[in-house]
Amino acid sequence: MTWASGSVANHSAAPYELSCHLCQNPVMATIVVLHAHPDDEAIATSGTMAKAKADGHRVVLVVATRGELGQSPDDLAEGESLADRRTTETLKSAAIIGADRVAFLGYRDSGMEDDPRINDLDTFHSADLESASQRMADILREEGADILIGYDERGNYLHPDHIKVHLVGARAAEIAGTPKVFEATMNRDFLWKLMQQRTQGLPPEMQAEVMGNATSVDDFNLGMREWTITHRVDVAAYVPIKKAAMIAHASQINDQSFFLQMPEEMFAESFGQEWFIHRGVSRGTDEPFADSLL
Ligand SMILES: [Zn+2]
């Protein structure tokens, strides 16, 4: 009997044999997650990142900008910039999530489309796509990344820096030959239903605050339609980590914010799952969501 056939035979006869260690503990993978601004990682993918870390994988956080155009808190120390503060907050959040490394791509926050500073030469929006992708690809190669997580093509809500994450992520993975690309998104159909339930009975102006000008799921400006989404990762067990990571970004998400004011149950319902599109892969109409990126 050869060693190989012996191990196969033992595998079915005695599941607790050493040969089964690998089937229960898949080989460690490296997951690199690209975000646009500090705090995006906490809101959008911290559950999946914390879960991957707990499962023994290497998790690397890359942030394109330091969120220079965010809200400036009143308590900046002398000589401390908003970028300094947000860098510190990102490192705190990453430590809570368990990220193994944090890197910044070094671009400046672009702001929204109508912000006159968007076309400044140092913004992420103005950056040449090929050179920004090259910067990102260098990190992917250095890490030997198995998976890159970027954003969907709408950047979730049409923020120029988020759309750039989509473009740079896709191109960088191509340059570096990263095998799997996932696009973090939100399930628009799920959120539309949830928000309609939650805002029922509220005055129209308050409904408009949450739902925007949308009159149907088609023009609701969040995430992607459910049929385009391939993965739903259950991160219910990581909701407390997710919340702590958000709290680490105190300059932007204070305890009066919409997210942190949510009742516990609604917070868990809204943040207990994370949605992804596996780039280049589609899901059959009757096929359930896959639940693991690995
Ligand atoms: Zn952002």
User: What separation in Å is there between the alpha carbon of 217 and the centre of ligand 1?
Assistant: 22
Looking at the fold, whether 169 and 42 belong to one and the same domain comes out as yes
Residue 230 in tokens: 């391939």
User: What separation in Å is there between the alpha carbon of 118 and the centre of ligand 1?
Assistant: 14
What CATH number is associated with residue 90?
3.40.50.10320
293 within 8 A of 279, measured Cβ to Cβ: no
Looking at the fold, whether 98 and 206 belong to one and the same domain comes out as no
User: What separation in Å is there between the alpha carbon of 16 and the centre of ligand 1?
Assistant: 46
User: What separation in Å is there between the alpha carbon of 162 and the centre of ligand 1?
Assistant: 6
User: What separation in Å is there between the alpha carbon of 159 and the centre of ligand 1?
Assistant: 7
Distance set, CA 124 to CA 2, 106, 127, 198, 219 (Å): 57, 9, 5, 36, 27
Quick check: is 4 in a domain?
A: no
User: What separation in Å is there between the alpha carbon of 124 and the centre of ligand 1?
Assistant: 12
pTM above 0.85, yes or no: yes
Quick check: is 38 in a domain?
A: yes
User: What separation in Å is there between the alpha carbon of 216 and the centre of ligand 1?
Assistant: 25
Helix, strand, or coil (residue 55): coil
Furthest C-alpha separation in the chain: 76
User: What separation in Å is there between the alpha carbon of 252 and the centre of ligand 1?
Assistant: 11
Quick check: is 136 in a domain?
A: yes
User: What separation in Å is there between the alpha carbon of 54 and the centre of ligand 1?
Assistant: 25
User: What separation in Å is there between the alpha carbon of 156 and the centre of ligand 1?
Assistant: 9
Looking at the fold, whether 132 and 211 belong to one and the same domain comes out as no
Quick check: is 98 in a domain?
A: yes
Residue 90 in tokens: 């990102």
User: What separation in Å is there between the alpha carbon of 284 and the centre of ligand 1?
Assistant: 31
Quick check: is 19 in a domain?
A: no
Domain boundary (177, 197, 222) is at 222
Taken in order 283, 287, 289, 290, the sign of the CA dihedral is negative
Looking at the fold, whether 210 and 106 belong to one and the same domain comes out as no
Residue 37 in tokens: 């601004």
- Give me the pLDDT at residue 266, please: 87
Quick check: is 228 in a domain?
A: yes
Looking at the fold, whether 69 and 139 belong to one and the same domain comes out as yes
pLDDT per residue as tens, the chain (294 positions) = 333 333 333 333 344 444 444 455 556 999 999 999 999 999 999 999 999 999 999 999 999 999 999 999 999 999 999 999 999 999 999 999 999 999 999 999 999 999 999 999 999 999 999 999 999 999 999 999 999 999 999 999 999 999 999 999 999 999 999 999 999 999 999 999 988 887 787 778 777 777 788 888 998 999 999 999 999 999 999 999 999 999 999 999 998 888 888 889 989 998 999 999 999 999 998 999 999 999
Residues 6+ apart with CB under 8 A from 195: 210, 211
Distance CA 17, CA 10 (A): 7
Distance CA 275, CA 187 (A): 6
Residues 6+ apart with CB under 8 A from 174: 133
240 within 8 A of 50, measured Cβ to Cβ: no
Looking at the fold, whether 234 and 173 belong to one and the same domain comes out as yes
Quick check: is 129 in a domain?
A: yes
Residues 6+ apart with CB under 8 A from 56: 25, 28
Quick check: is 149 in a domain?
A: yes
Looking at the fold, whether 207 and 231 belong to one and the same domain comes out as no
Place of tokens 């907050």: 89
Looking at the fold, whether 112 and 243 belong to one and the same domain comes out as yes
User: What separation in Å is there between the alpha carbon of 163 and the centre of ligand 1?
Assistant: 10
Looking at the fold, whether 76 and 204 belong to one and the same domain comes out as no
Domain assignment of residue 207, given as a range: 188-222
Into how many domains does the chain fold? 2
Question: What angle do the packed helices 46-54 and 239-248 form, to 10 degrees?
Answer: 120
Strands 180-185 and 273-278 come out as: antiparallel
Looking at the fold, whether 106 and 217 belong to one and the same domain comes out as no
Distance CA 254, CA 163 (A): 26
Q: Which amino acid would we find at residue 51? A: K
Distance CA 267, CA 231 (A): 20
Residue 136 in tokens: 């990102």
User: What separation in Å is there between the alpha carbon of 8 and the centre of ligand 1?
Assistant: 49
Residue 168 in tokens: 């740079």
User: What separation in Å is there between the alpha carbon of 271 and the centre of ligand 1?
Assistant: 17
- Give me the pLDDT at residue 24, please: 56
Looking at the fold, whether 124 and 258 belong to one and the same domain comes out as yes
- Give me the pLDDT at residue 11, please: 39
Looking at the fold, whether 259 and 169 belong to one and the same domain comes out as yes
115 within 8 A of 69, measured Cβ to Cβ: yes
